């Protein structure tokens, strides 16, 4: 895997998190290269603080920090934040020049330079642009970057509506830039918070930005719900990749003496799961909410049941690496007799991976699109 990233500002050694077995996946892309070259072509960088949104593993952030500029990196991703900090240390970049925060933390001050990697979801981009608007002025340089396939008309409309006049570059190596300047018109008011009711479970679900299927229950999770088991024992349940927390909420209802751990790589997802817990259960029950990389840091042999609807992408990169990591770590974290239950697309062949790890896999249900699988720790 290529790790050396050379650009007009720095020569960096950059690695992804988690470390990929797929050698083609680098810690940066052509959009990062295009944006940094554009910055260099425009002349010297202002010494004032810069803001970088959604940098994957530090290519943009560390290039600016290497020039002595204080940089705030805002990312919803635990892996991106840890990756950027680890890459900063590896490249000898002064940690005092780099501040990392989640979208849940407020911005402060006015930024001279704002660099944006266009995120996978429009809802996160809208959330971030609304946050950004009070912290820019007419002199702020705002450049967004993404691969052509990820920058749509709706993406540019958001910039126009929430920031101001926006123009785009020609494509280069399948990447494109968007340039926005602060407009005179105020941003339109935000719409209602998305979510849905699940009458059969007596639940009201709110969805924060950057979550999957904002306005309705996704069909995979709906198919999974009947297979969430019930028990009167005091055991430990993990909602792995919890998203809005629906699976863990239903598990808590069906297992009233259980402790439920909600774990997700997204800060907004964890906050959403906690919001939905209090919205539906108040202060009842026993729950913990943690942002982290799958089950990293969870004590071995400590869980009785792990529920998971595995993702098949990391940001814009598609693959089963995260799912496979979840399965390996679930095997380590389950007690003997404990069980991993997942829902997945039929064509992904998860039963083969689980059989290699656990030695046994039971198919609990299937339809034309999904399968529900259970693997028991022996």
At 5-53, the pLDDT tens digits run 999 999 999 999 886 555 557 999 999 999 999 999 998 999 999 999 9
Q: Are residues 138 and 223 in the same domain?
A: no
Residues 65 and 37 in one domain: yes
Quote the pTM value: 0.94
What whole-number distance in Å separates Cα of residue 313 and Cα of residue 320? 7
Number of domain units in the chain: 2
Does a structural domain hold residue 160? yes
Residue identified by tokens 């430990």 is 236
Range of the structural domain that residue 259 is part of: 195-376
Q: What is the pLDDT of residue 318?
A: 45
Same domain, 212 and 249: yes
- Residue 147: name the closest of 169, 125, 174, 124 by CA: 174
Q: Are 360 and 376 contacting, i.e. CB atoms less than 8 angstroms apart?
A: yes
User: Are residues 97 and 202 both part of a single domain?
Assistant: no
**SS3 call for 154:** helix
Asked whether residue 257 falls in the same domain as residue 152, the answer is no
Q: How far apart are CA 281 and CA 185, in angstroms?
A: 42
**Dist CA 50 CA 66 (whole Å):** 12
What letter would DSSP give residue 271? H
For residue 190, tell me if it sits in a domain.
no
Tell me: do 173 and 289 sit in the same domain. no
pLDDT the model gives residue 87: 96
Give the Cα-Cα-Cα angle 205, 206, 211 (nearest 5 degrees). Answer: 110
Torsion of CA 143, 149, 151, 152, to 10 degrees: 160
In angstroms, the CA 94 to CA 65 distance is: 8
User: How many C-beta atoms surround the C-beta of residue 214 within 10 A?
Assistant: 19
* 3-state SS record for 8-76: CCCEEECCCCCCCCCCCCCCCCHHHHHHHHHHHHCCCCCCCCEEEECCCCCHHHHHHHCCCCCEEEECC
Q: How far apart (Å, rounded) are the C-alpha atoms in residues 346 and 173?
A: 35
Of the three residues 130, 154, 180, the one that is the final residue of a domain is 180
How many Å apart are CA 300 and CA 146, to the nearest integer?
Answer: 39
Q: Are 158 and 274 part of one and the same domain?
A: no
Q: Domain boundary residue among 135, 153, 180?
A: 180
Residue 302's SS3 state is coil
Instruction: Read off the DSSP letter of residue 172.
Output: B
Q: Please give the DSSP secondary-structure letter assigned to residue 149.
A: G
The answer to whether residues 347 and 248 belong to one domain is yes
Instruction: Please list, in sequence order, all residues whose beta carbon lies within 8 angstroms of the beta carbon of residue 334, skipping any fewer than 6 positions away.
Output: 301, 303, 304, 306, 340, 377
365 shares its domain with 276: yes
Residues 6+ apart with CB under 8 A from 149: 174
Q: Please identify, among 180, 215, 245, the residue that sits at the C-terminal boundary of a domain.
A: 180
* Amino acid 311: pLDDT: 85
**pLDDT reported for residue 189:** 93
Distance of alpha carbon 180 from alpha carbon 128, whole angstroms: 14
Distance CA 261, CA 341 (A): 15
CATH code, domain with 149: 3.40.50.150
Residues 222 and 283 in one domain: yes
**Alpha-carbon torsion angle 308, 311, 315, 319, nearest 10:** 140
For residues 177 and 146, what is the distance between their CA atoms, to the nearest angstrom? 7
Specify whether 14 is located in the same domain as 144.
Answer: yes
Q: Does residue 112 sit in the same domain as residue 169? A: yes
Classify residue 185: in a domain, yes or no. Answer: no
- Residues of the chain falling short of pLDDT 50: 313-314, 316-318
Within 10 A of 360 (CB to CB), how many other CB atoms are there? Answer: 11
* Burial (0-12, 13-18, 19+ Cβ within 10 Å), 134: exposed
Exposure string (b/e) for 78-94, b if CB count within 10 Å is 16 or more? bbbbbbbbebbeebebe
**Residue 18: inside a domain:** yes
């Amino acid at each position: 895997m290529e790790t050396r990233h050379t650009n007009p500002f720095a020569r960096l050694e950059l690695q992804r998190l988690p470390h990929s077995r797929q050698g083609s996946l680098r810690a940066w892309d052509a959009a990062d290269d295009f944006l940094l070259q554009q910055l260099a072509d425009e002349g010297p960088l202002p010494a004032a603080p810069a803001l970088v949104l959604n940098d994957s593993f530090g290519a943009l952030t560390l290039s600016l920090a290497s020039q002595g500029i204080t940089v705030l990196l805002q990312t919803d991703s635990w892996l991106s934040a840890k990756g950027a900090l680890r890459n900063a240390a590896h490249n000898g970049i002064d940690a005092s020049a780099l501040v990392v925060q989640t979208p849940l933390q407020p911005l402060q001050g006015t930024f001279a330079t704002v660099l944006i990697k266009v995120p996978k979801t429009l809802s996160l981009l809208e959330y971030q642009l609304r946050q950004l608007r009070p912290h820019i002025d007419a002199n702020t340089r705002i450049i967004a970057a993404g691969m052509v396939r990820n920058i749509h008309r709706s993406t540019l409309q958001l910039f126009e509506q929430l920031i101001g006049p926006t123009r785009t570059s020609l494509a280069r190596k399948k990447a494109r830039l968007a340039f926005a300047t602060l407009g005179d018109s105020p941003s339109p008011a935000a719409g209602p918070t998305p979510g849905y009711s699940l009458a059969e479970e007596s639940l009201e679900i709110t969805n924060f930005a950057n979550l999957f299927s904002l306005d309705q229950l996704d069909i995979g999770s709906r198919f999974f719900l009947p297979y969430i088991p019930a028990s009167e024992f005091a055991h430990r349940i993990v909602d792995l990749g919890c998203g809005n927390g629906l699976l863990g909420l239903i598990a808590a209802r069906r297992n009233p003496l259980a402790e439920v751990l909600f774990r997700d790589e997204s800060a907004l997802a964890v906050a959403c799961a906690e919001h939905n817990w209090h919205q539906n259960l108040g202060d009842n029950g026993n729950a913990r909410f943690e942002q982290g990389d799958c089950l990293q840091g969870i004590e071995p042999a400590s869980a009785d049941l792990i529920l998971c609807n595995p993702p098949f992408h990391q940001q814009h990169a598609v693959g089963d690496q995260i799912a496979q990591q979840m399965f390996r770590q679930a095997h380590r974290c389950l007690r003997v007799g404990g069980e991993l239950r997942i829902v997945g697309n039929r064509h992904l062949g998860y039963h083969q991976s689980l059989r290699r790890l656990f030695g046994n896999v039971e198919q609990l249900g299937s339809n034309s699109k999904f399968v529900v699988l259970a693997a028991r720790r022996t």
